[in-house]
Amino acid sequence: MTADRPTATQRTRRTRTLIVSFLGSVVRQQGGWLPIAGTIDLMGQLGVDAPSVRTAVFRLKQRGWLEAQTRDGARGYSLTDQAVAVLAQGDEVIWHARRPADLADGWCIVNFSVPESDRSKRYKLRTHLSHLGFGNVGTATWLAPARMQAAAAEAIAELGLDKYAAVFVGSYVGTQDLTALLYESWDLAGIDQSYRTFIQQYEKVATELESRATVDPQEAFTTYLGVIDAWRQLPFRDPGLPRELLAADWSAPEAVALFEQLVQLLEERALAHAATFWVGHD
């Protein structure tokens, strides 16, 4: 095996993320149902083989995201209410990115002390807060812009940890440099590098597409889904901190503009190409 050839685990993960991106950006546009034959054909255009597609679809069915449904004699799967809800929750972040918070609004601080008997819930709360964009500023102490107060309270309530957690909202009045504190509490350098990697990967693609009179439909589809798949995890890592507290060369605004440009260039052609695979498959 060569050093740069993806491992089986990497291939499985890529297939899974591509399918989820496909569900969110294409399948919902086609009424929330996908033909399995057409999906296999479309994923084949991205280099994913049929067994990998079937495995990914089966696992999503096990997770409660898909349910078997035949339409007009074609075998396929429809999105469940659970899948629709989860995908909808991510739309604001994926498609509009995290808007920088207003520094004047202050901060939300979550502190908790969960007993050892509930350590699994303690871990889930940490994970949930991290996914919401909270940064860890100390032992069992998490920080985010004040606008995350309701989301934090909901996460705590869902786990039944209300009596073990405290939520505060207020201004920062300490003497420690706030920018330094934020860079210690979040992997902001890593987030910035992820945005830069996206820019490096797709900047020339956008320039080349802009110069063309037409774009091949299949190329539009494969490029579009690749862009969506590369982008959609990035905004979830970004806590949307006040812009004035970040480095002067923070790359998120440039990356967001590039993503929006690529979507504008590709989306219509990509969806039209995909729609043809909803017809004539059994």
259 contact partners, CB below 8 Å, separation of at least 6: 97, 198, 227, 231
Q: From the DSSP assignment, how many helices (H) and strands (E) are in the chain?
A: 11, 7
- Asked whether 84 and 32 are in contact (CB, 8 A), the reply is yes
What confidence score (pLDDT) does residue 99 get?
A: 82
CB atoms within 10 A of CB 71: 13
The residue type of 165 is A
153 contact partners, CB below 8 Å, separation of at least 6: 167
Question: Of 42, 43, 44, 32, which is closest to residue 76 (Cα–Cα)?
Answer: 32
What confidence score (pLDDT) does residue 119 get?
A: 87
What confidence score (pLDDT) does residue 14 get?
A: 85
Q: In whole angstroms, give the CA distance from residue 280 to residue 49.
A: 20
Strand 165-170 relative to strand 135-138, pairing: unpaired
Q: Which residue has the tokens 């909803």?
A: 278
Provide the whole-model pTM.
Answer: 0.86
Render the burial of 146-185: b for 16+ CB within 10 Å, e for the rest. bbbbebbeebbeebebeebbebeeeeeeeeeebeebbbeb
The single-letter DSSP state of residue 224 is H
What confidence score (pLDDT) does residue 282 get?
A: 43
Q: In whole angstroms, give the CA distance from residue 270 to residue 87.
A: 20
Question: Of 41, 47, 39, which is closest to residue 20 (Cα–Cα)?
Answer: 39
CA neighbours within 13 Å on the CB side: how many for 254?
15
CA 141 from centre of chain: 25
Question: Where do the domains of the chain lie, and which CATH numbers do they carry?
Answer: 8-86 (1.10.10.10), 107-170 (3.30.70), 187-278 (no CATH)
pLDDT tens digits for the chain (282 residues)?
344 556 666 677 889 999 999 999 999 999 999 999 999 999 999 999 999 999 999 999 999 999 999 998 899 999 999 999 999 988 877 876 678 999 999 999 999 999 988 889 999 999 989 888 899 998 899 999 999 999 899 999 999 999 999 999 999 999 999 999 999 999 999 999 999 999 999 999 999 999 998 999 999 999 999 999 999 989 888 999 999 999 999 999 999 999 999 999 999 999 999 999 997 544
200 contact partners, CB below 8 Å, separation of at least 6: none
What confidence score (pLDDT) does residue 2 get?
A: 45
What confidence score (pLDDT) does residue 80 get?
A: 97
What confidence score (pLDDT) does residue 13 get?
A: 80
What confidence score (pLDDT) does residue 3 get?
A: 46
What confidence score (pLDDT) does residue 281 get?
A: 47
What confidence score (pLDDT) does residue 203 get?
A: 98
Question: Of 114, 106, 190, 184, which is closest to residue 148 (Cα–Cα)?
Answer: 106
Quickly list DSSP for 32-97: SEEEHHHHHHHHHTTT--HHHHHHHHHHHHHTTSEEEEEETTEEEEEE-HHHHHHHHHHHHHHHH-
What confidence score (pLDDT) does residue 249 get?
A: 95
